[in-house]
Structure 1
Amino acid sequence: MTTIDPGTVKKLVVACDAGMGSSAMLAGTLKKQLAKDGITVEHTAVAGIPADADIVLTHAGLLDRARGVAGSTPVVPFNLFLGDPAVTKVVNGLKSGQPFDV
């Protein structure tokens, strides 16, 4: 488990396989939810995860590939594009301002 300090998170990346589709909708939703918190949300293909990402969300099926690209950046897997508990935990943790584990 990794502890995330929300004060250090400036960029959240939603990484998917092809860079389109349901994950793009998730990224758009997160962008709206986190805009007031000063967190940039980007959507990218797994192979294009930027080096300046502070946390990465990706579908569980892409976890190994995302970790290979993200290096030491925490990668949080999810199973559902809407209403997934892992995504909810990250959003709530970032909004709370309190450190949380992923």
Structure 2
Amino acid sequence: MSSIEGERIRKLVVACDAGMGSSVMLAGQLRRELRKLPVTVEHHPVAAIPPDADVVLCQAGLAERARAGAPGSVVVGFRMFLGDPAVARVVAAVKQGGVVVGTTGN
């Protein structure tokens, strides 16, 4: 899947690899931002993304691994854990409607 309508997103996964805690913080921030909407935000290792994830957010360098591990999900890579435009676009699509398009390459 390469894109999804924001209103169809029910499970958003923040995937990580390094275990530094930044991705856990991002997942918590997204939970707070989306708490009034019917969206579940979870945090998982990139090697254990659940198959029912609609959208996977991960660092751009992990996007290929995330796509391989979650072929039915839209994978959006980002560069910064806080304030990244790619993450902001996903949040806006969920809140206001719009399409989330998966990223390609690193």
Same fold per superposition (TM over 0.5): yes
d(CA) in 2 for partners of 1:49, 1:101: 18
Please tell me whether the aligned partners of residues 2 and 74 of structure 1 are also in contact (alpha carbons under 8 angstroms).
yes
Residue 86 of structure 2 aligns with an amino acid whose one-letter code is A
Which residues of structure 2 form unaligned runs of 5+?
A: 102-106
Please tell me whether the aligned partners of residues 7 and 93 of structure 2 are also in contact (alpha carbons under 8 angstroms).
no
Aligned length: 101
Q: Secondary structure at the match of 1:37?
A: coil
Output aligned runs, 1:17-56, within 5 Å: 17-56=17-56
Residue 98 of structure 2 aligns with an amino acid whose one-letter code is P
d(CA) in 1 for partners of 2:73, 2:13: 10
Please tell me whether the aligned partners of residues 51 and 72 of structure 2 are also in contact (alpha carbons under 8 angstroms).
no
Q: What RMSD in Å do the two structures reach over aligned CA positions?
A: 1.5
Residue 56 of structure 1 aligns with an amino acid whose one-letter code is V
The Cα shift of 1:19 comes to 4.4
2:67 aligns with: 67
Q: What TM-score, normalized to structure 2?
A: 0.88
Which residues of structure 1 form unaligned runs of 5+?
A: none
The Cα shift of 1:20 comes to 4.8
Larger fraction in helix: 1
Q: What TM-score, normalized to structure 1?
A: 0.91
1:28-54 Cα distance to aligned partner (Å, 9 max, x none)? 000000111111000010001000101
Instruction: Evaluate the alpha carbon distance shift between residue 49 and residue 19 of structure 1 in structure 2; reply closer, same or farther with a 3 A threshold.
Output: farther
Residue 35 of structure 1 aligns with an amino acid whose one-letter code is R
Please tell me whether the aligned partners of residues 19 and 43 of structure 1 are also in contact (alpha carbons under 8 angstroms).
no
- Fraction of identical pairs, as percent: 55
d(CA) in 2 for partners of 1:2, 1:101: 8
